[in-house]
């Protein structure tokens, strides 16, 4: 059985036989999976009144444990959303009554974002739906294959995150 990336690989082998498309066999599939899951998750989060960014924000706060609060920088680092949009994301979920901003007791200029009881209830429901639907996506794989894949992807992620890149060098300066 071929998948959509197999077709692209065959085309690149014909178009540019001088190049090795093997890395694309991995990353192309990761990108394609990411795009597909992003679209699918939008479908299962929408009935809850959430998009992926608001979902990620409230479940990050829920996962942090009582009192379910983080400063915006920690919230960005521990969630799956971009730093550039964190203030807008907080504004959106605050308008929905899912979080509230409080003064940071350790930084007079800072704020803390706390999950409200309404936000906690929705986060609990949303994460149950999310985990169940993700499990459905894996239903054609064995437990052993899932464990191997998780380990391989963890190694790949460590490798990619550990690389020195121009953007990471600029961030350190």
Cα–Cα dist 61/70, whole Å:
7
Q: Under a CB-based contact definition with an 8 Å cutoff, are residues 57 and 116 in contact? A: no
Cα–Cα dist 34/40, whole Å:
10
131-159: pLDDT as tens digits:
999 999 999 999 999 999 999 999 999 99
34-88: pLDDT as tens digits:
999 999 999 999 999 999 999 999 999 999 999 999 999 889 888 877 777 788 8
By CB atoms closer than 10 A (0-12, 13-18, 19+), residue 32 is middle
Instruction: Determine if the pTM surpasses 0.75.
Output: yes
Cα–Cα dist 116/68, whole Å:
8
Mean residue pLDDT across the chain: 91
């Amino acid at each position: 059985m071929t998948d959509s990336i197999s077709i692209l690989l065959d085309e690149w082998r014909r178009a540019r036989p001088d190049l090795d498309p093997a890395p694309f066999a991995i990353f192309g599939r990761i990108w394609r999976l990411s795009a597909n899951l992003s679209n699918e998750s939008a479908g299962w989060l929408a009935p809850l009144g959430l998009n992926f960014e608001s979902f990620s924000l409230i479940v990050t706060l829920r996962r942090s444990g009582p009192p379910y609060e983080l400063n915006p920088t920690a919230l960005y680092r521990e969630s799956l959303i971009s730093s550039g949009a964190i203030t807008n994301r907080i504004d959106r979920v605050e308008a929905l009554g899912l979080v509230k901003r409080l003064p940071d007791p350790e930084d007079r200029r800072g704020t803390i974002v706390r999950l409200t009881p309404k936000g906690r209830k929705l986060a609990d429901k949303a994460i149950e739906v999310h985990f169940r639907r993700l499990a459905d996506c894996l239903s054609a794989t064995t437990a052993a294959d899932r464990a191997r894949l998780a380990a391989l992807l963890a190694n790949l992620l460590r490798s990619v995150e550990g690389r020195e890149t121009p953007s990471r060098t600029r961030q350190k300066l």
